[in-house]
Structure 1
């Protein structure tokens, strides 16, 4: 039939098939090889003994599983572990389950998540840092091996449905586009469905969203991202249980909270109005006492001194106190609101008689409190020079938490929310980076409520889940022979609060900082480095010292839980023993070579010419170099009512937009603080037009229409306006996510046709 069609129609049929396949909700079929036939075939059905292949089924009564992982939350943040931020739903889960007080993460997001999902150490699954800082070595290339399956792959092979919502941050940066490949996206690593963002963070009011492997055009209903993923989680559960009530599900719920940007509605941030006016020093003291009274700390624990560089609250000016307290009010509201959305999911399970047979593993933070907010807090604009200007921060007071800012709190609050520990996120030499709260909740299994003090690590969550569900890890998954799990199940501790710790050795490494734990002893080293938000090094020309110059410290955590007494000088033999142990663990897990932050990272290739074609509906990322750049738009204008965005990149925090408004062509650039707009003096005509924007090496931007000069503007730097082309990408024919300009409502679609966008760059030599 097809062969008889004209050639042109034949092509259409093929293209339809390709397009349909590209929009399928799940790109990868579950591994399901043909089984040997065990029936008997005859010449007719009377003589035939029919047989059907076995279907994968979970064990009888296997529980549903929910993993919840919060982002950038320290040990002393939430009320569940003595903090002053109210989290009643987390409190309820903990009060009816188990609190683990000696649980650890890898001290930063991607490595923690890789270790969690695979049950193996982060370097051993090639995620020693982020996908976007990958280098060409086994511990850091960002390509998680299929020989080390995720929990989703394992559970799906055992008859579970699997869903992930929220933050991912595993996909190699080169693969994280509509061109794929998609085998290291969530749906390629065992999840039936995914809804969330692929990177490390996103605007919570205007998130960059993917569903399965397709970009989702943002809704304009004003919903917060956390509400969206809670809605989606409930939808996935409802749909699955409506079809197969007895089939268990696995839900991985990973909200953006409390990672920057700290976005939350006014009614949540205002709940804490005035609650933190006493400052971070008082907060630390109050929380430390609460933690002692709750039995969360050893009796001999000591509150360490305030971190070097953080000012005493009483020495701050009135303006500093006012704006710094507001940063914390917003952060607290963000976490309380997230607790509310978690409560909605728990309530749904309870209302539908699913909760008793559901294992909930709730990890409060993938690392300690964030250090990226610097000493003064940040608003998040493209122009970072405003960060230490207190009068400017104060001028933004009412906007903190809204779509017009992307805030992160000051370091004083980071250490406060890490109470009782030192340091903060990514500093693996100290417990403040990696010591996080853990809750296990499972009514059908956990009968003895209370505290558990056994040393544990994020790699232990997978084997704990495997044991509690009663499933088996296949020798082969999707054809790949599986390598051993490195974590140790915590089930031994559930019924016995005094059980001896089984996880006795654990290494840590980030940015060249290292530590090694063994039987309560810990050797550690802080490696100086320069990165955004670095608390100790602010000179951009700083050169990190050689790793051999790093000074190791030694602590006995059995007697000094908060690392206040360095024993390196008094016990050099123990220190050398632990350093040798670190070397052995590092070799096994592919930690070497040590590297400084972003050292060895290959910059994205900048192309002399990039064409974005008509019909593109998602943002297209284009690496931008240091040379001059031109953006040429070929458009077709309708005869009347011409308006809308031709292209846009970025948003309210910084970017550019080319659009027609009130019959005139405009090009707006914003750094998040100030908008600069070029307006064409040359009229557009109905039909075809060519619009050219040139960023020259003379710090100017020039707008031309149909080869005629239309407008020109001097600028300090193009980087802050165009950086989002490489990070978020260009949207064509509309302004997706947060609109760049306040003069039009997003997405403000173009009423004409954008035939193509051409980006031409002068590619400068790399040496």
Structure 2
């Protein structure tokens, strides 16, 4: 028996190198890699006009197609729901995020804050077509096992269930959550120490794709980086690269970014821009304030470069396996740049920040820090657009999109697609490109609402939507309707005045000239179309006085107040004992003094 085993082992050793040389995907169908960045502005990628070093994303852009007029939601969960399903967010069950939904909306149709059971994910559709599916990184579409990636078509998944987490340590964003929630294959997991989030995400992706369970199947990898969500953190070498780079401030950067986008052919030269009320005068800041803000922006750039390097490492791994040419790459951001500053959100949040983070200027971007760029630099990263994350303005909704398929000559390398495109279009496009669009689906499945972008990738068409075809959007009361070159938009306070405005976002992408008075018939017609969209998708009106930032603080306080008080009880007990002991000693001394008094 022992001899038989030795013979078998020798034979296995002899043929295993041959197996190793065989391509992992022997199906002939293309692999898919979706690279989802977090809170990147339109011009954060070098190929879109920015100064940040993103050579690997730039290379994909030159091999593929860049989209100049691509839109997502103003916050992460609704975008992720639409990316995963190809269905508009309310129909998919994510009409709002857990952190911003008003209590009155919880549980209402379209407001479950998790993917509902009527929608199929891209992974579920591709699984039916024989794909091996993995997800690594941020999920933020449900906490229960039934709502996690393994239940939605992914064979392997390392998932962060919340909006963000620390990048160096296994801990939460302390201003939002009491604990961090990572799972692997729906089981709670503690991340290995030490780690850096972008590196960990690519390590795990490569490991999953090497799993023997693939068995020659094509793969779909959903790679969801934490970069550049709060807290902004990066390796020291990347931080050093950008030290002092942003001393001139956000106004200078905004102008440079707008020129860069125009120079790369993404926008017309010198587009008009507005100055956001939340953007302070850089020259009016003290030297210390300028140093702090410039350092935060340097950390943002460093984190983006670190992420790009990890993208390059994944690409190198695919090239080494002979799978690069037959892989479709999709890169996008989940929304525009983050303007929030937890340090200035109120007394309770300030106490949390000071209790859990090192706020020294020289520690910005490093382990233990809480670094944010604030509204000034957020506005610059969205140049030349108005607004940023949370808003329905272009700065919140228009983000970079790159689609590349290196081995497919039908995709026009280096092309810029200028027609209107939407995040719901990604799923149907990938299904069409992989030949999986005809895979059987349950009759109850919510139909995909997005469009196949293939004609825009090949140059056969500039747009996939008719000039009078409306595309509606709403999140937290901030709303928009796109139709041809025009956009109807409304932002509630503190991001806007709560009124409808009309812009030509092709000729005026900065949304500087309101056409409502000049085009009253178009203005009224688009409002009617928005009302029809809102009714069809079950969009609910926001409660009186609702504010998304205030709602975030309210939920954070409710989750964190009791745990923070429990953390303080030993100190409170010690203080109480000290007071009681002090009072007892004082009374004893008084009694002693009375007894010995003459």
- Residue 206 (structure 1) aligns with: 169
Q: Secondary structure at the match of 2:69?
A: strand
* Residue 485 of structure 1, aligned match among 432, 435, 448: 448
Written as runs of structure 1 = structure 2, the 5 A alignment for 1:127-166 is 127-132=94-99, 133=101, 135-166=106-137
More helix by share: 2
* Residue 364 of structure 2, aligned match among 400, 408, 426: 400
- Residue 346 (structure 1) aligns with: 315
Which moved further from structure 2: 138-147 or 94-103? Answer: 138-147
Q: CA deviation at 1:206?
A: 1.5
- Residue 728 (structure 1) aligns with: none
- Residue 441 (structure 1) aligns with: 404
Q: CA deviation at 1:573?
A: 1.5
- Residue 367 (structure 1) aligns with: 335
Residues 274 and 510 in structure 2, CA contact (< 8 A), matched pair in contact too? no
1:2-21 per-position Cα deviation (integer Å, ceiling 9, x unaligned): xxxxxxxxxxxxxxxxxxxx
- Residue 39 (structure 2) aligns with: 72
- Residue 115 (structure 1) aligns with: 82
Q: CA deviation at 1:462?
A: 0.2
In the alignment, is residue 586 of structure 1 matched against residue 553 of structure 2?
A: no
Residues 115 and 121 in structure 1, CA contact (< 8 A), matched pair in contact too? yes
1:284-342 per-position Cα deviation (integer Å, ceiling 9, x unaligned): 1112112111101035x623132113122223221111111000000110010000111
Q: CA deviation at 1:485?
A: 0.7
Q: CA deviation at 1:710?
A: 6.5
Written as runs of structure 1 = structure 2, the 5 A alignment for 1:469-618 is 469-477=434-442, 481-496=444-459, 499-502=462-465, 504-529=469-494, 550-595=498-543, 596-597=546-547
Residues 59 and 471 in structure 1, CA contact (< 8 A), matched pair in contact too? no
* Residue 296 of structure 2, aligned match among 324, 327, 330: 327
2 CA distance for matches of 1:483 and 1:262?
37
Larger radius of gyration: 1
In the alignment, is residue 269 of structure 1 matched against residue 140 of structure 2?
A: no
More strand by share: 1
2 CA distance for matches of 1:462 and 1:332?
30
- Residue 91 (structure 1) aligns with: 58
TM-score with structure 2 setting the length: 0.82
Q: CA deviation at 1:589?
A: 1.3
Which moved further from structure 2: 68-77 or 395-404? Answer: 395-404
Q: CA deviation at 1:521?
A: 1.2
1:19-49 per-position Cα deviation (integer Å, ceiling 9, x unaligned): xxxxxxxxxxxxxxxxxxxxxxxxxxxxxxx
Written as runs of structure 1 = structure 2, the 5 A alignment for 1:1-150 is 60-132=27-99, 133=101, 135-150=106-121
1 CA distance for matches of 2:538 and 2:152?
22
Q: Secondary structure at the match of 2:339?
A: coil
Distance 1:126 1:597, change over 3 A: farther
**Number of equivalences:** 534
Distance 1:624 1:324, change over 3 A: closer
2 CA distance for matches of 1:395 and 1:570?
50
Q: CA RMSD of the aligned region, Å?
A: 3.2
2 CA distance for matches of 1:622 and 1:313?
32
Residues 162 and 193 in structure 1, CA contact (< 8 A), matched pair in contact too? yes
Q: CA deviation at 1:412?
A: 0.8
2 CA distance for matches of 1:599 and 1:278?
29
Q: CA deviation at 1:367?
A: 0.8
2 CA distance for matches of 1:386 and 1:185?
29
Residues 263 and 407 in structure 1, CA contact (< 8 A), matched pair in contact too? yes
Residues 65 and 411 in structure 2, CA contact (< 8 A), matched pair in contact too? no
Q: CA deviation at 1:399?
A: 1.4
Distance 1:655 1:467, change over 3 A: farther
2 CA distance for matches of 1:407 and 1:335?
14
Q: CA deviation at 1:219?
A: 2.1
Q: Which has the higher contact order (CA 8 A, sep 6+)?
A: 2
Q: CA deviation at 1:193?
A: 1.1
Q: CA deviation at 1:525?
A: 1.5
Written as runs of structure 1 = structure 2, the 5 A alignment for 1:702-713 is 702=573
TM-score with structure 1 setting the length: 0.65
1 CA distance for matches of 2:549 and 2:38?
25
* Residue 199 of structure 2, aligned match among 194, 208, 227: 227
Distance 1:453 1:712, change over 3 A: farther
Distance 1:384 1:296, change over 3 A: same
In the alignment, is residue 384 of structure 1 matched against residue 255 of structure 2?
A: no
- Residue 385 (structure 2) aligns with: 421
2 CA distance for matches of 1:412 and 1:360?
32
- Residue 411 (structure 1) aligns with: 375
Residues 163 and 252 in structure 1, CA contact (< 8 A), matched pair in contact too? yes
Distance 1:59 1:323, change over 3 A: same
Unaligned regions of 5+ residues in structure 1, if any?
A: 1-57, 530-534, 537-548, 606-620, 630-648, 658-668, 670-692, 695-699, 714-767
Q: CA deviation at 1:598?
A: 6.3
Residues 77 and 94 in structure 2, CA contact (< 8 A), matched pair in contact too? yes
Residues 379 and 387 in structure 1, CA contact (< 8 A), matched pair in contact too? no
